Amino acid sequence: MPSASQTTASSDIQSFRDVLASSKSIIILAGAGLSAGSGIQTYRGGGGLWNTQDADYLATPQGFKENPSRVWQFYHHRREICLQSQPNAAHRALASLSKLSTLSRIAPSLKETSSPPLLITQNIDSLSLRALDGLPPAVKTAAEGRLLEMHGCIFSTRCTSCQHTQCTYTSPLCSALLDTKERDIPISELPRCGGENWSGSNRYGKCGGLLRPDVVWFGEIPNHMGEIAQRLNWCDLLLVVGTSSTVYPAAGFAATVKARGGKVAVFDIENPKDRVGADFIFLGPCEETLPEVLGV
């Protein structure tokens, strides 16, 4: 029962480190709280013009179908915010788990000592990926392979015709988006497959179709769910970072790990009453708690 398990949750750093040191398979589940310290707000905290918008409408396939111009202007605005943001100490702490020297010190019992813990993020800001910049190439590649962006990435686009996907940090994606005032942009002027100077080709990746942000919208299935379900089966320590475990899928992940005898450690700014029972809870901004508690 949530209330009973809450009372038993510990905030003792040494006890947590003992569990970390004996864990064989660690998974990290991250959410919005991980990026809060980088200035990335949730949809509903969007600011200015977008405060009045219905986030659900801006993040559904139906909303895009009805008004791609409005959705693209919204995502352009969010892309700009993400571009201006930098990974914070929490992203860097998680990135440091990619280093063999760090892993062998704090988690020497890991089964796959050569690969970093699996990092599942619900964030689309790409900051966990950017936090890997500066690591030695081989370490970075290994860490990238262990990073699952389950809701996609705001810097990726997908063609609504040929389904070609592409990741680019270029901004704006087309000149019509330079104008930040909300207006009705014709589809032919929105981001299109093959670029703004589309040649008329119908080839894959150059077909002229309307692009959409390659992010998971309400009503769509998150990425990597099969792999995540499989990995959770043998996970014995789940770190829940900056995301409430009261809503799915996070609630389901923690419950799965608990049901199989694993431990759950939560790093978050607050502790909702109905959170799935955690063994450890470290309250506070995760850019402060994570580096301290992990000892990295």
- 249: preceding bond cis by omega (within 30 degrees): yes
* Encoded tokens for 149: 């962006």
Q: Is 207 annotated as a binding residue?
A: yes
Other CB atoms within 10 Å distance of the CB of residue 291: 17
Residue 227: what residue type? E
Find the part of the chain contacting Zn ion (CB under 5 A) among 16-24, 81-89, 162-170, 288-296.
162-170
Annotated catalytic residue within 77, 151, 164, 224:
151
What is the C-alpha separation between 90 and 128, in angstroms, rounded?
9
- If we measure between CA atoms, which residue out of 69, 66, 65, 119 comes closest to residue 90? 119
Q: Is 162 annotated as a binding residue?
A: yes
Applying CB under 5 A, does 162 fall inside the site for Zn ion?
Answer: yes
Q: Which residues pair with 29 in a beta bridge?
A: 120, 240
Question: For 116, which DSSP code?
Answer: P
Q: What character string, x for contact with Zn ion (CB under 5 A) and - otherwise, covers 112-151?
A: ----------------------------------------
* Encoded tokens for 214: 């390659």
Applying CB under 5 A, does 262 fall inside the site for Zn ion?
Answer: no
Measured from the CB atom, is 207 or 266 closer to Zn ion? 207
Applying CB under 5 A, does 159 fall inside the site for Zn ion?
Answer: yes
Catalytic site includes residue 77: no
Applying CB under 5 A, does 255 fall inside the site for Zn ion?
Answer: no
For 97, half-sphere exposure in the C-beta direction (CA atoms, 13 angstrom radius) is 29
Applying CB under 5 A, does 160 fall inside the site for Zn ion?
Answer: no
Query: Taking a C-beta distance cutoff of 8 angstroms, is the pair 174, 192 a contact?
Result: yes
Give the 3-state secondary structure of residue 271.
coil
Q: Is 286 annotated as a binding residue?
A: no
Q: What character string, x for contact with Zn ion (CB under 5 A) and - otherwise, covers 193-222?
A: x-------------x-x-------------
Q: Is 153 annotated as a binding residue?
A: no
Measured from the CB atom, is 193 or 250 closer to Zn ion? 193
Under the rule (CB under 5 A), what is the footprint of Zn ion? 159, 161-162, 164, 193, 207, 209
- Catalytic residue annotation: 151
